[in-house]
A and B are shown apart, each in its own frame.
Chain A
Amino acid sequence: MNQSNDLLRAKLKVRHLASQARLNRFLVSTAVAGSLFFSAPAVASVANQPQEEIATDVAIGPRQKLLLDLKATIPEKLEILNSDLETKISNILFEDLGIKAYAELEGEKLNRSYGLIGAEQHLQRYPGDTIDQHGQFLREGMAPGKGAWGYISNPEYEKYYVAVQTLYLPDWSARLSYLRDWYRYRKVLVVNPHNAKSIVAVIGDSGPAAWTGKHFGGSPEVMAYLELNRGKQKGAVILFFVDDPSNKVPLGPLESKVNYD
């Protein structure tokens, strides 16, 4: 083999996802779709949901300020943000949530900091891990094979993970060994600008494939909290790196201001 197993696995998973998407087109019209055991995201629920993005709930208190600030700053069109805008958003996030989050950290930057996130499946935490041991959101299923970093043994990481398109970074192949370590379980803040719901997660996998039109993936728990686990199971988010060298910012929903002390 000329390629690393990581790269081969990523490429194979892309082909597998394409085959699932093709199969799903048949399954959505069947009554038994939801009971099938394909590792595809909740086929029946997609079929039965309205295809428009469902309106989010009403933000209150600190979230309302964040919601208003983001609405005044973020372009409606899902475009690549320039660095001035990214700095403005970082300032808003610090002011409203007390969190230090940046589109670029330590000189590293994803191709997108504002993009579409889509539903991912549960990841295997150890050999023999099965979907029924994941507590919640069982319909979302389990991804085939391991994640980009292997088994995601920390259950908290598996619960709150995102997938980002490291594979499409221009310098990914050239700096593979450094970047792989840098991105592995890197803490990120994900914000749904339509309801200001914010959650801290780790980068737990690579993807989604470019052909999906999505830029990020979210674990079942992340998508549910952001209220994007319905309809088309995707939506716009801001995804910034969290600057937290002392590991003071806990993973999970961000309901109050971060305290770094």
Chain B
Amino acid sequence: MTKATFYDHLLDLSDLEKHLGKDEELTLIAKKTLRNHALVSILQILPKDKHDHFLQEFTKSPSDKEHWIWLKNEITEDLVKVIKTEVDRAKKDIIKHL
């Protein structure tokens, strides 16, 4: 995923930079990886019958903050917390494998 997403502000890469340095390409690959994981965490808690609609809208405009509003109506869990937890887990996994 190369475009910015509405949840990019939750992808804190500072702890990865210790391992990756300031290399822009490495940072970009790490960011794309975390974006994938964050999206998986959303899909895991979003009801399956809502996946098509969400992905259609998300594809049209991945950085649109309106997705938060729509998702909050469909999901009972604390979405920010879910994404942050998954991103933290994914970062640890990346660091473990470097």
Contacts and interface: CB of A to CB of B under 8 A. Distances in A.
Interaction A to B: yes
Interface of A: 1, 3, 5, 8-9, 11-16, 19-20, 22-23, 26-27, 29-33, 35-39, 144-146
Nearest to B96: A15
Interface string B80-98: 0000000000100110011
A19 B90 contact: yes
A145 B28 CA distance: 8
B55 A20 contact: no
A20 B20 contact: no
Interface stretch (B7-15, B32-40, B71-79): B32-40
A26 B51 contact: yes
Given A9-B29, A15-B94, A30-B52, A35 B37 contact: no
A30 B53 CA distance: 9
B55 A32 contact: yes
Please report whether the interface of chain A is mostly helix, strand, loop or mixed according to DSSP.
Answer: helix
B1 A37 contact: yes
Contacts of A145: 25-26, 28-29
B1 A30 contact: no
B52 A5 contact: no
A19 to B, nearest CB: 4
Contacts of A31: 52
Closest 10 CB pairs of A and B: A19-B36, A16-B33, A12-B29, A26-B43, A19-B33, A23-B36, A32-B55, A1-B21, A145-B29, A32-B56
B51 A29 contact: yes
A31 B32 CA distance: 23
A11 to B, nearest CB: 6
Given A30-B52, A38-B1, A145-B28, 19 more contacts: A8-B23, A9-B25, A9-B26, A9-B29, A12-B30, A12-B94, A12-B98, A13-B29, A15-B97, A16-B29, A16-B33, A19-B40, A22-B36, A22-B37, A22-B40, A23-B36, A26-B40, A32-B52, A39-B2
Contacts of B33: 12, 15-16, 19
A229 to B, nearest CB: 23
Given A3-B98, A15-B93, A22-B36, A35 B26 contact: no
Given A23-B40, A26-B51, A30-B52, A37 B59 contact: yes
Contacts of A3: 98
B97 A19 contact: no
14 contacts: A1-B20, A1-B21, A8-B26, A11-B97, A12-B33, A12-B98, A13-B29, A16-B36, A19-B36, A19-B40, A22-B37, A37-B3, A39-B1, A144-B32
Contacts of A146: 25
Contacts of B3: 37
Contacts of A35: 59
A33 B20 CA distance: 31
Contacts of A16: 29, 32-33, 36
Nearest to A17: B33
